[in-house]
Amino acid sequence: MTLRAVLAAAVLAVASPSLASAADSIRLAVTDIEGLEALQSEFGPFEAALEKSTGLEVELFPVGSRTAAVEAINAGQVEFVLTGPAEYVVIKELTDAKIVVGWQRPDYFAQVVTLADGPIRRVQDLKGKIISFGSVGSTSQHLGPAQALADVGLVYGTDYEPKIISRNVAVEALIRGDIAAIGMNYGHLQRAREAYPDVAFTVVARGRDLPNDILVARADTKSEVLEKVQKAFTEDGKSLLAAVLKGEDNQKYKGGFFLATMDDSDYDYVRAMYKTIGVDGFKTFVGD
């Protein structure tokens, strides 16, 4: 063997472990959790379970915002992002991310809540009234409730006055009579009833089940890596879900399933929600 060949072999031997390591590792971000400590607390067990199932090294990658998640994808800093339906349609537009698997949230639907003994008896009674919504762009606290009203003929910003108010403050305002109704999801209503056991709440409008949270992959993620991750959710879904549910905030997925047959068109309902509140494009996140 020539000296040149020996040197080339030595260089390859040194480089190969790092190349293999890069090929066998993936980075995962979650859009609604800020900070590495919180991310590890919620998804640390899932990180370990996904590593065991795929044989890949998994690294949790914290992002400070939805926009930061897009930037991380486009900069090649992450391969996978777990996000909500409202965020997905923007992420898809800005990154062309691929759908990996849906994360079902049971009883995930939007509703419009008022006082059972108040003046609002039917949804048409909300005309001309103030209705509060949660954070701008939230699927279940803003977009979904607005769409539930639109589905029965009430036009956002025309037939009623929408106001963005944090949920706890809004509930107190509802009880005082300062607003007529609140947009929220099923879990929020249960917590309101627990917090105010002497107050009777009722639902005057309810939307269809909302599209699932979704795990997406960067468009150029290697096919063999994508196949390993998809196979893990298909074959080891129960163990992966059990690991997810070790996170306190992840209880929203309890009783749900990982759904492999997701399609981008499943999120057209979310795109319609954006149009309902007057947003026609998906180049930016509402409220950012």
Separation between Cα atoms, residue 31 and residue 89, nearest integer Å: 13
Q: For residue 5, what pLDDT is reported?
A: 40
Contact (CB, 8 A) for 184 and 113: yes
pLDDT for residue 13 is more than 60: no
The residue extents of the domains of the chain are: 15-106+211-276, 109-209
Contact (CB, 8 A) for 164 and 134: yes
Contact (CB, 8 A) for 84 and 93: no
96 torsion bin: left (phi>0), alpha (psi -120 to 50), beta (else): left
pLDDT for residue 9 is more than 80: no
pLDDT for residue 1 is more than 80: no
Q: For residue 39, what pLDDT is reported?
A: 96
Mean pLDDT of all residues belonging to the chain: 91
SS3 (DSSP) at 143: helix
More confident residue, 6 or 282: 282
CA-based end-to-end distance of the chain: 61
- Residues in the chain, how many? 288
What are residue 256's phi and psi, to 5 degrees? -90, -175
pLDDT tens sequence across 70-113: 999 999 999 999 999 999 999 999 999 999 999 999 999 999 99
Q: Homologous superfamily of 109-209 in CATH?
A: Periplasmic binding protein-like II (3.40.190.10)
Residue ranges of E strands in 120-251: 130-133, 161-164, 181-185, 201-209, 213-217
pLDDT tens sequence across 33-69: 989 999 999 999 999 999 999 999 999 999 999 999 9
Q: What is the mean pLDDT of residues 22-32?
A: 85
Q: For residue 229, what pLDDT is reported?
A: 97
pLDDT tens sequence across 150-182: 999 999 999 999 999 999 999 999 999 999 999
pLDDT for residue 3 is more than 90: no
Q: Report residue 168 as tokens.
A: 């706890």
Separation between Cα atoms, residue 90 and residue 87, nearest integer Å: 5
More confident residue, 180 or 288: 180
Separation between Cα atoms, residue 19 and residue 87, nearest integer Å: 33
The one-letter code for the residue type at 270 is: V
Q: Would you list the DSSP string of 198-215?
A: T--EEEEEEEEEPPPEEE
pLDDT tens sequence across 220-230: 999 999 999 99
Domain 15-106+211-276 fold: D-Maltodextrin-Binding Protein; domain 2 (3.40.190)
Q: For residue 286, what pLDDT is reported?
A: 81
Greatest CA separation found in the chain? 92
Cα 7 → chain centroid: 51
